[in-house]
Amino acid sequence: MTEAIVKKPAFSLCVYCGSRPGHSPEFAALAQAVGTWIGQHGGQLVYGGGHGGLMGVVADAALAAGARVIGVIPTALVEKEWAHTGCTELHIVENMHERKRIMAEHADAFLALPGGIGTMEEFFEVWTWRQLGYHDKPIGLLNLNGFYESLLTFLHSAVQNDFMTDWQMDLIRTGSDAPSLLDALVQAAGTAASATRLDQI
């Protein structure tokens, strides 16, 4: 019997987002649009493996649009029944560090949607990894309706006060239009260096 040929995704995008839905339905609509876009463009979603909040929305939308979905979740969260068992691949790992490393290794680019401290921690860590040269993959911040405006103001203040540089700020792409930012990240991922040193982190 001939085995089915699995088509390689055109790209693999790691999405960080809230495990809660947020107060506005616009957040869920954004997550759904991102997941749908990934599937419609032949991509693969890599995310934290949960089924709640925006995480579940983006995963369900990607699956519905035909995308492969890789979820990576720690054992402790599986035990709380937070895992999305419908993922194409669900990796159950021991801790958060291993989770983030595997997510990063499976990604060509990274995108942060609205979320809380978990989303911010993941976004800042992968940004820090890039400035240190552990990877050269594009990073995006989707600023829906000014959600991240105060954060960006703070970051520019850090530059003005000489705790950061314009070069560091240029390592991330920001935008409020999901399709435009997604397209820019995927295009940049196609020209980025493929070598990574995540095993050294």
How far are the Cα atoms of 16, 26, 46, 134, 187 from residue 63, in angstroms, in the given order?
17, 20, 12, 30, 22
pLDDT at 191: 56
Q: Are 55 and 48 in contact (CB under 8 A)?
A: yes
CA distance 130 to 136: 6
pLDDT at 28: 97
CA distance 12 to 44: 5
Of the candidates 123, 125, 127, 101, the one whose C-alpha atom is nearest the C-alpha of residue 200 is 101
pLDDT at 194: 36
pLDDT at 140: 98
User: Could you give phi then psi for residue 111, rounded to 5 degrees?
Assistant: -145, 130
Per CATH, is 12-190 categorized as 1.10.3720.10?
A: no
**pLDDT (tens digit, 9 = 90+) per residue, 65-117?**
999 999 999 999 988 889 999 999 999 999 999 999 999 999 999 999 999 99
Q: Which residues of the chain have pLDDT under 50?
A: 1-4, 192-201
